[in-house]
Structure 1
């Protein structure tokens, strides 16, 4: 039996009432309007909310109240305006206004089938997701260095079967760049596709709260739930592997399939991506995928330094959460005098956010002869070393034909023009990132000399 709040039209309620009573559920309140719904949810703490999807009933405030109370929200859609509103809010659980209670029961039964039964787990497994720096700090406090160096694991006794080992968690790769469109989205999509082509399971996440472009670049419809829906489920404690698969989209690559969590379609929806929910999504994703590639926004400012309300949501929280949780950060700049200046200045904030420059991969895009002179590659490397202390960088040649082909076909550039120098450099970078912690793996060096990169 579930406790239900109804915030629907009179005729819809009349259509659902008999089925609710027959199933033995309890209606704890009937309300009208978004404000009344938010108040009722906070007071009654229902398990299920059926709400008309119009903006006068379902908006960011009322939906946030439902999520905060841990209630599952099902949108009732009666016209095109309500369908658009449900899509804008990232609601994937919907019924039509003329559906009966059986449609709701089917949704509830589908949820029960997707969620695995709980199993006993150690208390440590129930800890909330922590950032990479927090985990590193805790490990150092444990004093691992005090363990004897010659200690070796005890072999299993004869006749016993060793317990199964849990697969190692996947790696999070954050792709960042300063303002000015240096090509962050193009690089993120290409790296994800290249890792898929190498045989890895990969999830691509668009966490740019200023101008997410992964969905239009890959031809993913705005109706796709994406990251906002995953964060909403995480906030309600309902995010599971099955739900993560349900709210993500599928993209075919040359040698495999890429899963994509598209970003918010409207930048005004940034409050839907708070840091704690973003960390919860990444925490689950790295258990389900070998690599999680996250396209983050350019702005790294600490919002709490700019406003007096320190408890308010932060627009840059998603970027901070992804960068702090990342095992490696791909920092993208543009090979122009202005682009390099922007990159070197903004990179200081990135290093400060990470705590150090470890596992920062510098990538400079759109390298061409006319931008910086005859020896463009040499000049770029000299600028990076002199003003940023950056000894190693991946230089990507300017190849508008390959990029245009990828955009036209809504695929990654490594699949659209696999023989181009641009695709080869991106594949080499993906190979290096895939084995960054594997000392036995060969380092992916530049495939060609710097001179051949300049078209």
Structure 2
């Protein structure tokens, strides 16, 4: 006897229910309404096989992986085998199949162990040529958003088509930093389009804001309580798609990475976006404030398992560096502390230029727009040069657009 859960599209639910009702050796245990109920049933060991449809509410790669971790097998049902395979479903049956064919497929799925084929290309090679840099760091406000925005600005000024992505599910501030007059949840819109299998194929259809011709922004959530709209697997797909459209993808994330509740289901966690952005990045820029508290937090962070998992692609930046906080000379003192406690050296030192930062924030401009001769502005420009290969600078990339910054896609107005 095969115990089955039906998690298919609404149009196929009744058809499949009637088909399986004719099969003696199949019992339909339940017909869950969404992925929450589906996973709850799988974790109780209620069924041997789950039959899923491409458009079942909440279905994505993470859901399929979570089902597999419970020991429950998955059989796809529908006519788009390629879309189902993209979700991680290896076995499928078309919607035109008769009862005996479905029953046989269920038996084969239940009794077999599917070994994924060896990939023909190295992991990550299927992505576009764009480089993803995730800006992360400690608490105590080291300036993640300010640094991320200005990395994107200088990336464009150095000839790279750049986009800043606000994936901070706690306090999204990219729109405010850039002085955007229309604050739409572009990232939520992109995630929704990805889930609906209708993602944009080029920049013209991308929900975003245009800062300059080669500098764009995908703004974050308009309210923190919208975090369930940014799922880990969907964000990973969004970032991979952006890397095919842009040369430089900068992702601003929250400092928080672990679940708020240790006893909560890790599948439903507002900080999964941070973990997904770290995993998807080619480079992770870890920031810490250049003061005693910030350095102590960095030392503790560098001793965690999470850092070990990203150490090969990690770069360290110390921000707000000033002699008044750590003594003179400030840079030498900071390097001495890190060498002593964690045996490492920071890759980047960013000065504390409060006057330029305040002027830029007040006007909604980048540091270069506020004061191109600022030491901090020049340090961030040098950091971009190290993070990205050199490219011929476009004359247009240095031009400012006049008037308020606007959405770069017609769909952006609908992205709330």
TM-score bracket relative to the smaller structure: 0.5 to 0.7
1:213 partnered with 2:183: no
Aligned match of 1:309? 265
Q: Deviations over 1:195-246 (max 9, x none)?
A: 0000111111000011111011112245424101101111111112247743
Aligned match of 1:43? 10
| Contact preservation (8 Å) 1:324, 1:354 | no
Aligned match of 1:340? 295
Cα distance change on mapping 1:290 and 1:45 into 2, 3 Å: farther
Cα distance change on mapping 1:185 and 1:356 into 2, 3 Å: closer
**TM-score normalised by structure 2 residue count:** 0.63
1:379 partnered with 2:338: no
Cα distance change on mapping 1:174 and 1:330 into 2, 3 Å: same
Equivalent residues in 2 for 1:4-403 (5 A)? 43-44=10-11, 69=56, 127=86, 169-221=129-181, 223-242=183-202, 245-252=205-212, 256-302=213-259, 306-311=262-267, 313-349=268-304, 352=306, 355-403=309-357
Alignment gaps of 5+ in structure 1: 1-40, 47-60, 72-122, 130-137, 145-165, 439-455
| Contact preservation (8 Å) 1:212, 1:265 | yes
User: Once the 2 structures are TM-superposed, how far is the Cα of residue 356 of structure 1 from its aligned partner?
Assistant: 4.3
Instruction: Note the aligned Cα RMSD (angstroms).
Output: 3.7
1:413 partnered with 2:373: no
Q: Measure, in 2, the Cα distance between the counterparts of 1:191 and 1:272.
A: 26
Poorly superposed stretches of 4+, deviation over 6 Å:
138-144
Q: Measure, in 2, the Cα distance between the counterparts of 1:361 and 1:190.
A: 17
User: Once the 2 structures are TM-superposed, how far is the Cα of residue 353 of structure 1 from its aligned partner?
Assistant: 5.5
Aligned match of 2:21? none
Cα distance change on mapping 1:364 and 1:271 into 2, 3 Å: same
More displaced stretch, 262-271 vs 390-399: 390-399
Matched residues, number: 296
**TM-score normalised by structure 1 residue count:** 0.58
User: Once the 2 structures are TM-superposed, how far is the Cα of residue 43 of structure 1 from its aligned partner?
Assistant: 3.5
User: Once the 2 structures are TM-superposed, how far is the Cα of residue 347 of structure 1 from its aligned partner?
Assistant: 3.4
| Contact preservation (8 Å) 2:127, 2:243 | no
Cα distance change on mapping 1:42 and 1:234 into 2, 3 Å: same
Q: Measure, in 2, the Cα distance between the counterparts of 1:214 and 1:392.
A: 25
Alignment gaps of 5+ in structure 2: 1-7, 14-32, 38-53, 59-81, 89-115, 392-416
User: Once the 2 structures are TM-superposed, how far is the Cα of residue 169 of structure 1 from its aligned partner?
Assistant: 1.8
Cα distance change on mapping 1:377 and 1:348 into 2, 3 Å: same
Structure number with the bigger relative contact order (C-alpha 8 A, sep ≥ 6) is 2
